[in-house]
Amino acid sequence: MGAGEWMMIGVLGLAFMCGVWVLIIRGDVDKPDRRRLDANDYSRFSRRRTGPEFKEARKEIEQRLAIVSRRNRARSQAQMKIAEAELARQKRIDAAEAALRSEELRLKEEQLNAERERMEEERRRREAEEAELQAEEDRRRREEEARLNAEAAELESQAAEAERIRQEELAALEEQRQAELAALAEADAMLEAQEVDDETTAELRARLEAAGGRIGDVNVSLMWNNYNDLDLHVVCPSGERLHGGNRTSACHGELDVDANVKPESKKPVENVVWDIGNAPNGTYRVYVHHYKKHKKRGTKDPTEFKVIVNAGGTFTEYNSELSNGDPIMLVTDFEMRERTPEEEEAYQAELAEAEAARLAEEEGAARKEAEEEAARKEAEEEAARLAEEEEAAGKEAEEEAARLAEEEEAARKEAEEEAARLAEEQRQDDLAAAEEQRLAEIAAAEAAAEQREKDAVHQAQVEAEEVAEETARELRRRLEQAGGRIGDVNISLMWNNFNDLDLHVVCPSGERIHGGNRLSQCKGELDVDANVKAETKKPVENVVWDVGDADDGLYKVYVHHYKKHKKRRTKDPTEFKLITGVKGEFKEYNSKLSHGEPILLVTEFTLGDSIPQPSSSPPEGEESQVEDEALDTSENEEKN
């Protein structure tokens, strides 16, 4: 049975006892002596119990029992109403807690959305910057290519112009030489001929092979040993001149090698050749002209030279020297005539012998080349084998390095996940601590008056000053480094350690701009938020309104010491400077805060038709609002 039923039984028993006690007190019940009681007395006693007095007592007892029953029912109904009221109150408490949790979840979701938007904006900004850099790089590359093409075209045009001038100069020199030849025909002293030694022959053959020159029935070759430009001239029996401006003549001669038009070789050669059977009979005259002295290191005048003449198998050598500016020099002349059958036979035998010697030399060279090629191939195979072994070892090392890198990456990811988990736990602990602090501050509201008086004393210490030039330069430098802007209205906070101070600005609409609400409906923006992590020892925070965006009304500026980072030489109290720029009028406020102190109202100013001087202390009644906003600050979400 329940407690109510037991209570009812107790009440009824008590009422019955009370009724019996009343009957006994009133004397309605006699106590006869059972030893003297007879039948008549018993009958009388029985009749008295059914008399009107007993009925009245019974009626009274029933009435009292009815009253007790009504009271019990009323008590039960009251208890039910109390239980229902308690249930409704519990439901309201649960609904309030659910709404609070929902609001916390909403705030967290807003934080996450804001963080995602910020990261997305940062990603878009980085992509835009990369695209701009790439476009700038492409533009510079195109400009560089255009410049190089223009320079190449300019160089080609200059080369063509120089060649044209050279040809004109050669033509003018040719006319001059013709005149000089007529005047010097008798005065020319020909050089003394010498036998061509084997060293000179080998050197001539090597230079001709390197330059692509030919050996024919008649050859006239010129060799020297610097970068200067010497020209070989040969006058045919018909009077036609072979030189750099007339390389192929009607008399079947050809200047097949013309050296050092540009300073290209220190061992140059020039060669005029007539193939077998093409050389006409008659007198040939050989000249050498110093055309140009190139500006190359070690190239000096006079330039020594050798002229080797092959006249039908007869080789002669001539040695002399020339300087730039000297007249053209007649080196020698020789005559070609028809050979007798004996001379032709001897010439052909010499040619055959020379050809056989050449073939034997080529065969020896080919054999030597084949041996060298075999040795080279063997060395290449050995090198390839060593390279394969080295590549295999390199691949093994790369695979091992990749495995180690994967293990290191996995360990790093695990460490990052652990750090993220610890950070989330720390964040939850901070939120719980903030909630506890909020509840403690609400519970300590009775001591708020004393705290507000302290705040007012503390706030009264912040006095407005003119902004020093050094402070203005430092502010500009920090804003440029952090990417902050200068607008119509600027409020900037600077300090000099790793702690996290927060700048709060309340707009005329009542909206607060801070780290958790960086872009406001009143068009103000916190574009720099410093030391969320301990990143710089010279931080700055900046709230800006662009030109024409600031609404008229009252603006309030607060500073809050949000967190003391554990960095070397980062101590409290933290001194700070607050600089306000209101439509070109700048003021500086200096103060200091320690972690745990309430939020500090630094100044307030009004925008409108006339701009009053910013106030350095809050007006009457402002202390309570500062305290309320300090309580609100403790409920702010964790900073991004």
Quick: pLDDT tens for 59-93.
888 888 999 989 889 988 988 999 899 899 899 99
- Whether residue 324 contacts residue 292, with contact meaning beta carbons closer than 8 Å, is answered with yes
More confident residue, 429 or 343: 429
- Place 610 in a pLDDT band, splitting at 50, 70 and 90: very low
- Whether residue 580 contacts residue 475, with contact meaning beta carbons closer than 8 Å, is answered with no
User: Rounded to an integer, what distance in angstroms lies between the CA atom of residue 624 and that of residue 622?
Assistant: 5
- State yes or no: pLDDT of 36 exceeds 50: no
Tokens read off for 191: 């050089």
pLDDT digits (tens, 9 = 90+) for 100-118: 999 999 999 999 999 999 9
Residue 482, H or E segment = helix 469-482
Tokens read off for 548: 């024409």
Mean of pLDDT values over 192-210: 85
* Per-residue pLDDT, 496: 92
Q: Closest Cα partner for 588 from 487, 481, 462?
A: 462
CA atoms within 13 A on the CB side of 343: 8
Out of 16-30, 142-156, 231-245, 358-372, which region has the weakest mean confidence (pLDDT)? 16-30
* Per-residue pLDDT, 623: 39
| Secondary structure (3-state) at 335 | strand
Please give the DSSP secondary-structure letter assigned to residue 245: T
First CA to last CA across the chain, in angstroms?
Answer: 61
Mean of pLDDT values over 193-215: 86
Q: Closest Cα partner for 615 from 509, 501, 459, 475?
A: 459
- State yes or no: pLDDT of 28 exceeds 70: no
More confident residue, 124 or 348: 124
- CA of 61: how far to CAs of 18, 22, 66, 374, 535, in Å? 9, 10, 8, 141, 89
- Residue 126 sits at φ, ψ, to 5 deg, of -65, -40
- Residue 535 sits at φ, ψ, to 5 deg, of -110, -35
Architecture of the domain defined by 447-634: Sandwich (2.60)
- Tell the residue number behind the tokens 């960086």, with chain if given: 518
Q: Sheet harboring 329-336: ordered strands across? A: 241-242, 229-235, 282-292, 329-336
Beta strands in 547-595 (DSSP E): 553-563, 574-582, 585-593
* Per-residue pLDDT, 55: 82
User: Rounded to an integer, what distance in angstroms lies between the CA atom of residue 91 and that of residue 294?
Assistant: 106
Residue percentage of the chain with pLDDT more than 70: 84
> pTM value?
0.32
Residue 604, H or E segment = strand 600-607
The rounded Cα 294 to chain-centroid distance in angstroms is 51
- Tell the residue number behind the tokens 């009457």, with chain if given: 620
- Tell the residue number behind the tokens 């005559």, with chain if given: 335
- State yes or no: pLDDT of 32 exceeds 60: no
